[in-house]
Amino acid sequence: MIQKRVNEHAEFVQQKYDVFFTALQGSQNYHLADEESDVDTKSLIIPNLHNLVFDKQWVSETLIVKPTEEHADVKDIRGMFDCFRKQNPNFIEILFTPYIWVNPRYKDVYEYLHMHRHDISHMDMRQTINATYGHIHEKYKKITHPFPSRMEYIEKYGYDPKQLHHMYRLKEFLIRFSSGEPFDEAMIPRDIDTLLAIKRGSMNYTEALTAAEEMNTWALNFMEEAKYMPYPVYKKVDKFLDEIAYDVIRGNV
């Protein structure tokens, strides 16, 4: 069912753009999906000659897939590769999901990119730590924010359990990935049942806010300490991404 939805998202985005590949993003990749989880995707799209000459900004938008209201995030390949360079784990994860649709025209280039997914994920550990702290802090700020789509949970629990379980997930990912675990292993929590329980509101208001405060502080301290760690930066990966983008775009102009 998941692969079918990913294929449908790719077909939907293809109506407007030339797609390099479409990949699943979100809870299914972490084995944390439940009955309320949508199938959301990210698509890398390839600019044509008109885009290259006349467009001042690279494409970056979210399309809504009917009738499910699922999100299909769309980015110019150059913009997506910049997100890879920033080591944003929410973007890196699409290199590791098993649920993917690849444009047959670019199958060989995709396989070459996929072959180097671990190199891309380890391009700059310090940047990964910074980006992951940013996500934890973002979830912390949202934990009691009355977003219309989450008001049901705010009214029931006093906070949003979904944001809290993301904080736990990201903290565990950060510890394990920075300790040397491969990205695809570190992104899947060891205690899935506990995180699903947290996602469903197992913690009371006081417990939740105390835990969120502690995790936010911990992540900030972790990021500050990482500034003094001798993490290498693999600049060859930066050139590799440029070469991939060049090969794909050249075939489309």
Which domain CATH number covers 46?
A: 3.30.460
For the segment 205-225, the average pLDDT, to the nearest whole number, is 98
Task: Check whether residue 81 and residue 15 sit in a common domain.
Answer: yes
Classify residue 30 by its DSSP letter. Answer: G
CB 28 within 8 A of CB 37: yes
Percent of the chain at pLDDT above 70? 100
Residue carrying structure tokens 């934890």:
136
Task: Check whether residue 176 and residue 65 sit in a common domain.
Answer: no
Residue carrying structure tokens 């590799």:
240
Strand order in 70-76's β-sheet?
60-65, 70-76, 40-45, 19-25, 100-102
User: How far is 37 from 35, CA to CA, in rounded Å?
Assistant: 6
Task: Check whether residue 119 and residue 27 sit in a common domain.
Answer: yes
Q: What is the pLDDT of residues 118-162, one digit of tens each?
A: 999 999 999 999 999 999 999 999 999 999 999 999 999 999 999
Helix (H, G, I), strand (E, B) or coil at 143: coil
Check pLDDT > 80 for residue 199.
yes
Show the domain range for 139: 125-226
Q: Which pLDDT does position 70 carry in this prediction? A: 95
Categorise residue 31: left if φ over 0, alpha if ψ from -120 to 50, beta otherwise: left
Task: Check whether residue 118 and residue 129 sit in a common domain.
Answer: no
For the segment 48-56, the average pLDDT, to the nearest whole number, is 91
Give the confidence band of 94 by pLDDT, cuts at 50, 70, 90. very high
For the segment 168-188, the average pLDDT, to the nearest whole number, is 98
Q: Which pLDDT does position 253 carry in this prediction? A: 72
Instruction: Determine what percent of the chain falls in helix, strand and coil, rounding each to the nearest 5.
Output: 60, 10, 30
Task: Check whether residue 103 and residue 150 sit in a common domain.
Answer: no
Q: Which pLDDT does position 4 carry in this prediction? A: 96
Of 66 and 195, the one with more pLDDT? 195
Check pLDDT > 90 for residue 11.
yes
Give the confidence band of 67 by pLDDT, cuts at 50, 70, 90. confident
Residue carrying structure tokens 């069912």:
1
Check pLDDT > 80 for residue 223.
yes
CB 22 within 8 A of CB 9: yes
For the chain, the residue count is: 253
Task: Check whether residue 131 and residue 93 sit in a common domain.
Answer: no
For the segment 79-84, the average pLDDT, to the nearest whole number, is 98
Residue carrying structure tokens 């506990």:
194
User: How far is 75 from 61, CA to CA, in rounded Å?
Assistant: 7
Both tokens of 115, joined, read: 């072959």
Both tokens of 55, joined, read: 């467009």
Task: Check whether residue 105 and residue 144 sit in a common domain.
Answer: no
Q: Which pLDDT does position 35 carry in this prediction? A: 86
> For the chain, what is the domain count?
2
**pLDDT averaged over every residue in the chain:** 96
Task: Check whether residue 164 and residue 208 sit in a common domain.
Answer: yes
Q: What is the pTM of this model?
A: 0.94
Task: Check whether residue 218 and residue 237 sit in a common domain.
Answer: no
Task: Check whether residue 51 and residue 131 sit in a common domain.
Answer: no
Task: Check whether residue 104 and residue 189 sit in a common domain.
Answer: no
CB count in 10 Å sphere of residue 141: 12
Q: Which pLDDT does position 59 carry in this prediction? A: 96
Percent of the chain at pLDDT above 90? 94
Q: Which pLDDT does position 156 carry in this prediction? A: 97
Task: Check whether residue 7 and residue 34 sit in a common domain.
Answer: yes
